[in-house]
Amino acid sequence: MPIPKKIFGRTGHLSTRTLFGAAAFSAVTQDEADRTMELLIANGVNHIDTAASYGDSELRLGPWMEKQRADFFLATKTDERTYDGAKRQFERSLERLRVSEVDLIQLHYLVGEEEWEVAMGPGGALEYLLEAREQGLVKYIGVTGHDVAIARMHQRSLERFDFDSVLLPYNYLMMQNEIYRAGFNEVVEMCKARGAAVQTIKGITRRPYLGDRSHATWYEPLTDQASIDKAVHWVLGNEDVFLNTAGDISILPLVLDAAQRFEARTPAAEMQAMVAEWEMTPLFV
């Protein structure tokens, strides 16, 4: 079965519901990146989400974007908060990606109060992104973040500016946090009313690392196909969201395989049993 697709907010782009989280290219060779891109293409994935701060990711994508730019919805991010910083970093991203424009630029990890005021205020990063949009360097503008507090901050961001997309954590265990669940659901409703896309991350999180890191992800992921199936199917069971794949190329095939076989949301009882079996704990509290 093909991976399900959904219109990405107001963009009109029919994106696969599993977006390629290109943080997975932060520290890989070009050969590894090439094999991964071939896998994505074979699975019909047509949406890539990278960032200026994802190590070598933009560089690894560059040769592919140079040849096959038209085949992908391309998104990147800036973690700079000022006009000048965002301009400098975005121009570098275009150079590294070997493109003249991207589809989506996102304010990356906009959670802190002081940073938010700078980025959203006069002379801030948003001011530059609007200028870049007017210049045809980007079509859409989004905002991203982690942590429990991001749900409320995204609400505030959406009240300040009509963003085209948001990105935030979403998995079964995190949604057992009443405060986060309420905030997340409100963000989704705001986005539905405005036609903004909702991207989710950390879908296959097991827990924070207890010892040495075993994968490129900065959290310990689920690693067996059966558990990844349950986690992915639970996320995709929410028809209002997209799932950004985990930042590790070794786990990517398992996530894509799970997405191809999606039919219905994993029941809560099965999710709770998996939480107990794998001693899962929330990444953010």
pLDDT at residue number 279 = 97
Per-residue pLDDT at 268: 98
From 22, 80, 31, select the one nearest 56 (Cα to Cα): 22
Q: pLDDT tens, 106-133? A: 999 999 999 999 999 999 999 999 999 9
pLDDT tops 90 at residue 253: yes
Tens-digit pLDDT profile for residues 128-143: 999 999 999 999 999 9
Annotate 233-268 with b (16+ C-beta within 10 A) or e (fewer).
Answer: bbbbebeebbbbbbbbbebbebbbebbeebeebbee
Instruction: Give CA–CA dist 210/126, Å, rounded.
Output: 38
Give me the mean pLDDT over the 169-183 stretch.
Answer: 97
Q: Which domain holds residue 113?
A: 5-277
Residue 216 pLDDT: 96
Q: Can you give the pLDDT at residue 85? A: 98
Encode pLDDT of 67-85 as tens digits: 999 999 999 999 999 999 9
pLDDT over 90, % of the chain: 99
DSSP classification of residue 202: -
37 within domain boundaries? yes
pLDDT, one tens digit per residue, over 9-43 is 999 999 999 999 999 999 999 999 999 999 999 99
285: in domain? no
Total structural domains within the chain: 1
Tell whether 153 is covered by a domain.
yes
Q: Please give the average per-residue pLDDT across 40-62, as a whole number.
A: 98
- The CATH number of the domain holding residue 87 is 3.20.20.100
**pLDDT score at 285:** 84
Residue 230 in domain: yes
Average confidence score pLDDT of the chain: 97
Assess if residue 259 is contained within a domain: yes
**pTM value?**
0.98
Confidence of residue 1 (pLDDT cuts 50, 70, 90): confident
